[in-house]
């Protein structure tokens, strides 16, 4: 019997081959295991967005922010039109925003999320920083469940679908332009606790009709100008200071009642072309200031308490204001004017009322129906320009409006029918 012994090199080769096969098999198993785990996990990406704050983006489109404390602040990258937040590159996948345990929402955190329709801010949140939710085009409603110390500048601006902002708690501070340029917003209820309304609070909210203010507001700055459909504002008794520039170009606001505790009125004649009634209920005449004075071009009527009517007539800034447009609240005019209003009857032509000369009675002044007696161009609302498209403002990290010269008034802002006067002179038969 012969026994053949393998050569040493053959033996080594076989062992090496066996090791290679085993290694390949082990590697293959590990790879399969990893792939299996990857398939089974329910999120796309996760990470940190604050010292004690985490985020996780789930496959169902939910972005969850959770932890305790403040989120990181981010910036807006104009080159790629995105926030520097870590989830921004997945913005097309984010449909739901779930915030839990956070105390501060960081600057520019969610400004480029275009598909989130509803947000509920938990009571743990106390501060909303700059442009946190700006430019969220699909956002329709946002609810703040608790008290807030601060809502930052541009925090909720340029959200074109936003029609409901609900505050279930108090708010200490609203910053510059935080609700600006929200085209779908029709009613704003300012929360309790706010003492001062900032500049540009609701500027360019083109469909805003009603504003309700709490009895904590003491100061109103130029907060609501260029809101052409604004119809009603109830000023609280707590008010001490009002800048009348707040309502510049608000062509549908026909009456403003200034409560009795106001101490100073700024820019009374800022919108001289507006035909509106301004009633001042203050028992003591407030300080009146206007950078440009109030002249005979002003078309508003001023109603004041009869016992201090003479004080208003002697006010330096009202010296050139037509005396027949200053009235006492009980109906007595400051002086005899050149015209008086008479009611409509069948003998007169169409309209609401006429100013008839007391001497000749040969002509009447009829309210211009084209501009509804405002003197404004009905197409542009007196701005002299109309917006054509929405463009991205890189510095703010949100969308803004691009304008062109109004084709109707050719940039003048005046009604073409009455030439900006608000009235049409017509003859009548007696």
CATH code: domain of residue 61: 3.80.10.10
Domain count across the chain: 3
Q: Do 352 and 326 fall into the same domain?
A: no
Task: Name the residue range of residue 309's domain.
Answer: 223-337
The reported pLDDT for the residue numbered 425 is 64
| DSSP bridge pairs for 403 | 387
Q: Is 10 helix (H, G, I), strand (E, B) or coil?
A: helix
Residue 330 and residue 262 share a domain: yes
Q: Is residue 14 part of a domain?
A: no
* 298 and 399 within one domain: no
Residue 254 covered by a domain:
yes
Output the pLDDT for position 375. 74
Please give the full DSSP string across 231-242, using - where no structure is assigned. Answer: -EEE--TT--EE
427 in Cβ contact with 386 (< 8 Å): no
Residues 181 and 54 placed together within one structural domain of the fold: yes
What are the Cα distances from residue 8, in Å, to 11, 17, 19, 414?
5, 14, 17, 106
Q: What is the pLDDT of residue 230?
A: 94
Q: What is the pLDDT, as a whole number, of residue 171?
A: 97
pTM for the complete prediction?
Answer: 0.71
Last residue of a domain, one of 321, 337, 353: 337
Mean pLDDT by 10 residues, the chain (430 residues): 54 62 61 48 92 96 96 84 89 95 97 94 97 95 97 95 97 96 95 96 95 96 93 94 91 92 87 77 90 67 90 83 83 37 34 39 60 72 65 56 73 79 59
Residue 30 counted as domain residue = no
Q: What are phi and psi of 366, to 5 degrees?
A: -100, 140
How high is the pLDDT of residue 325?
84
Burial class of 252 by CB neighbour count within 10 A (0 to 12, 13 to 18, 19+): middle
pLDDT at 212: 95
| 64 within 8 A of 58, measured Cβ to Cβ | yes
pLDDT of residue 121: 97
Among 302, 337, 372, where does a domain finish?
337
Q: Please give the pLDDT value at position 77.
A: 77
Co-location of 319 and 403 in the same domain: no
């Amino acid at each position: 019997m012969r026994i053949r012994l393998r050569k040493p090199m053959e033996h080594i080769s076989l062992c090496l081959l066996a090791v290679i096969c085993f290694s390949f098999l082990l590697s293959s198993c590990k790879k399969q295991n990893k792939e299996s785990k990857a398939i089974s996990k329910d999120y796309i990406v996760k990470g940190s967005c604050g010292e004690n704050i985490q985020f996780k983006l789930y496959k169902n489109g939910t972005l969850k922010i959770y932890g305790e404390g403040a989120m990181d602040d981010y910036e807006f990258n104009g080159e790629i039109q995105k926030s520097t937040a870590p989830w921004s590159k997945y913005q097309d996948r984010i449909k739901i925003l779930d915030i839990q345990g956070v105390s501060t929402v960081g600057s520019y955190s969610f400004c480029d999320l275009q598909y989130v329709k509803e947000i509920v801010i938990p009571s743990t949140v106390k501060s909303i920083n700059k442009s946190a939710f700006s430019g969220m085009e699909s956002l329709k409603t946002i609810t703040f469940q608790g008290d807030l110390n601060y809502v930052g500048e541009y925090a909720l601006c340029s959200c074109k679908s936003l029609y409901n902002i609900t505050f279930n708690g108090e708010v200490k501070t609203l910053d510059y332009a935080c609700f600006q340029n929200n085209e779908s917003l029709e009613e704003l209820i300012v929360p309790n606790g706010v003492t001062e309304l900032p500049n540009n609070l609701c500027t360019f909210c083109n469909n805003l009709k009603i504003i309700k203010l709490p009895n904590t507001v003491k100061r109103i700055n130029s907060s609501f100008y260029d809101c052409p459909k604004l119809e009603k504002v109830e000023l609280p008794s707590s008010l001490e200071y009002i800048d009348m520039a707040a309502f510049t170009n608000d062509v549908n606001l026909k009456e403003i009642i200034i409560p009795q505790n106001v101490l100073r009125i700024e820019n009374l004649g800022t919108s001289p072309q507006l035909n509106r009634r301004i009633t001042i209920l203050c028992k003591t005449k407030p300080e009146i200031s206007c950078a440009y004075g109030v002249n005979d071009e002003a078309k508003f009527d001023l109603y004041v308490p009869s016992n201090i009517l003479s004080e208003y007539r002697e006010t330096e800034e009202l010296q050139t204001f037509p005396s027949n447009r200053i009235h006492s609240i009980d109906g007595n005019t400051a002086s005899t004017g050149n015209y008086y209003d008479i009611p409509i009857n069948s003998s007169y032509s169409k309209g609401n009322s006429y100013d008839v000369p007391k001497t000749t009675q040969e002509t009447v002044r009829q309210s211009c129906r084209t501009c509804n007696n405002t003197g404004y161009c009905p197409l542009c609302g007196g701005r002299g320009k109309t917006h054509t498209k929405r463009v991205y403002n890189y510095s703010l990290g949100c969308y803004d409006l691009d304008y062109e010269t109004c084709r109707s008034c050719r940039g003048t802002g005046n009604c073409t029918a009455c030439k900006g006067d608000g009235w049409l002179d017509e003859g009548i038969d007696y």
